[in-house]
Amino acid sequence: MKKQKIKTQRSTMFILLLVFAIPVVLAKLALEGDWFNKASTNKGELIQPPVTFDVAFPQREAKWYLTYISDQPCLMACELALYSLQQVYIALGKDKDRVETAVLFTQTQQINKAKSSEFAQSLTVEHVDPEPLSRLFPDDKVDNIFIVDALGNVILRYPLHLNKEDAVMSSRDMLADMRKLLKLSRIG
C-alpha cells in the first residue's frame, strides 16, 4: 500500500514538473530558433540604425516631421506623395501642432511644380543639396516619404505609389504610425 502511494506521489510530482517545465523549454527554443516573427506594429519600414537628419533643417523646431525627399522629377508618384502628406496632416486633427510637413527637392524645377500643386497648401517646400543626402542615404534611393522624430532622427520610410488607391492605403499606414508615435512621445 505504501509503495503504491509513493509511486503515485512520484508520478504526480513528475507530471507537475513536466506541466511547468515543458512550456518554459518550448518558449526558450522558440525564441532562440526564431520560430515566429517578432512583434512589429509599425507599418512603415524601420530605418536601422536611425539616421540623424540635419541637412535641411539645422535650426528646426522640436517637432515631428513628415518629410518627402526626392531627387526625381515631380510626376505622378510625386503628386500622390504630396496628396498623402496633406491627407495625413489633416487627419492628425488636434495633434497637427506637433507635426510639420516638409517636401525637400534637389532640383529647382521640382520645387516650382510642387508649389503649384493643389496639395501643397499645408506643406513646406524647400531645396536641399543632393550631396549631403547621398551621404545620409548612400545605398538607398532617396525618393520616399520619411518620418523624422522630434530629435531629428529619420526612423520610418514609406515607398511612393503610382496609383491613388495604393497611395491612400500608404497614407493610412503613415497616419497609424504617426498617431502611435505621438501618443507614446513626450517630445514634440
CATH architecture, domain 45-184: 3-Layer(aba) Sandwich (3.40)
Range list of β-strands (E), the chain: 45-52, 64-70, 99-105, 124-127, 144-148, 153-158
Alpha-carbon torsion (51, 53, 55, 56), positive or negative: positive
Say if residue 88's pLDDT is above 90.
yes
Q: Which amino acid is at 131?
A: E
Give the DSSP letter of residue 121: T
- What percent of the chain lies above the pLDDT cut of 90? 29
Comparing 17-31, 122-136, 153-167, which segment has the lowest mean pLDDT?
122-136
**Short-list 62, 61, 65, 149, CA closest to 102:** 65
For the segment 24-42, the average pLDDT, to the nearest whole number, is 79
Comparing 1-5, 62-66, 68-72, which segment has the lowest mean pLDDT?
1-5
Say if residue 90's pLDDT is above 80.
yes
Say if residue 58's pLDDT is above 60.
no
Give me Rg for the CA atoms of the chain. Answer: 25
Q: CB-based contacts of 130: which residues, under 8 Å, 6+ apart?
A: 71, 106
Q: CB-based contacts of 154: which residues, under 8 Å, 6+ apart?
A: 47, 50, 51, 52, 53, 67, 136, 146, 147, 148
| Banded model confidence at residue 92, pLDDT cuts 50, 70, 90 | very high
Average pLDDT along the chain: 84
CA angle 54, 183, 79 (to 5 degrees): 55
The C-alpha cell at 149 is 522624430
Quote the distance between the C-alpha of residue 5 and its chain's center: 61
Q: Which amino acid is at 26?
A: L
Say if residue 161's pLDDT is above 80.
yes
* 108 against 175, higher pLDDT: 175
Structure confidence at residue 182 (pLDDT) = 92
The CA distance from 143 to 141, in Å, is: 6
Residues paired with 144 in a beta bridge: 69
Say if residue 55's pLDDT is above 70.
no
Say if residue 66's pLDDT is above 90.
yes
Say if residue 48's pLDDT is above 80.
yes
**Short-list 104, 50, 55, CA closest to 81:** 104
Say if residue 40's pLDDT is above 60.
yes
Task: Output the pTM of the full model.
Answer: 0.74
For the segment 131-142, the average pLDDT, to the nearest whole number, is 73
